Amino acid sequence: MRASFASLVMILALTASCGNPPAPSDGRLSVFVSIVPQQQFVERIAGDLVDVTVMVEAGSDPHTYEPRPAQMAALQDASVYFTIGVPFEDVWMQRIAASNPRIRIVDSAAGITRVAREESDEHGHEHHEGALDPHIWLSPGLVKIQAGNICKALQEIDPANSDVYADNLEAFLTELDLLSTEIRTLFERSGTTEFLVFHPAWGYFADEFGLEMVSVEQGGQEPSPSELAEMIELARERGITVVFAQPEFSTDAADVIAREIGGSVVLVSPLSEDWDGSMRQIAETLAGEPVE
């Protein structure tokens, strides 16, 4: 790690010695975000006025990702970095800020209260307090708050295009309201009340739509054989036939549960490039019918 960071410092020092960063040749603002879904949010508001770079690349884990030297060097041209509160930022944001004193760092999660998830045992009682859940981008309602923060920052950085950002924000908020209404109506019609996931990433989604998320993984650990057996029994009792898992992680335990309950594993990534597609996928699977 020391050698790697030393190399990054050397690259940044050489880049900084060349003076102020040049403006992008096409006139667009250089914007950085931490995870892939944020790119869609920024581009929805800014359109072709920005060039968005994602730090935690598709298919990577935000808990352990280390930026490539080229990514750190590219930050020299950045106007703004939108944070969202994933573990990657705990380790790297101080270094990112030091790499470019001119970059504006904006908390896109400002105004959102994160939830410390309580992880229930396999029978749904004796709750245990968990860590703060970072997955605030998996709730359309919370994305509305993030979109507002993004728009405000872009208007302050680029006031000449303030009206464009405002108009795009209004259209995006309308789309988010429509998506939320469609999903809520779908669950009300289907009677869906709970779902089983391997990694507990969908808590804010569950909160918004009045669902119970049952997590196979407890405290960041895969279940023991006895816990796995109890989870299988719980799924049978509640008539759960779908286990949601992430393509970024092993699905072995999810496969075992699905096989024992005569169900199936559905892969859905909380870091998908197709953010609204992921929202619809999990809703349609749970309800057994498509979002209209």
In the chain, where are the structural domains located? 2-110+127-172, 191-287
Query: Is residue 53 pLDDT above 80, yes or no?
Result: yes
Burial 271-282 (b: 16+ CB within 10 A, else e): bbeebbebbbbb
Whether the CB-CB separation of 68 and 54 falls below 8 Å is answered with: no
Whether the CB-CB separation of 233 and 239 falls below 8 Å is answered with: no
Query: Is residue 30 pLDDT above 90, yes or no?
Result: yes
The least confident of 39-48, 58-67, 160-169 is 58-67
Confidence (pTM): 0.85
Residue of 195, 200, 216 whose CA lies nearest to 283: 195
Six-digit token pair at 287?
A: 């309800």
The larger pLDDT score, comparing residue 3 to residue 44, is at 44
Kindly tell me the burial class for residue 81, based on how many C-beta atoms sit within 10 Å of its own C-beta (0-12, 13-18, 19 or more).
Answer: buried
Residue of 172, 164, 173, 175 whose CA lies nearest to 28: 164
Residue 292: per-residue pLDDT: 63
Average pLDDT over residues 253-279: 93
Fold agreement (2-110+127-172, 191-287): yes
Residue of 255, 233, 201 whose CA lies nearest to 122: 233
Distance CA 214, CA 17 (A): 53
**CATH pick for 191-287 out of 3.40.50.1980, 3.40.47.10, 3.40.50.2020, 3.40.50.720:** 3.40.50.1980
**CATH pick for 2-110+127-172 out of 3.40.50.300, 3.40.50.800, 3.40.50.1980, 3.90.1510.10:** 3.40.50.1980
Q: Which residue has the tokens 């040749």?
A: 25
Beta-bridge mates of residue 195: 213
The larger pLDDT score, comparing residue 199 to residue 44, is at 44
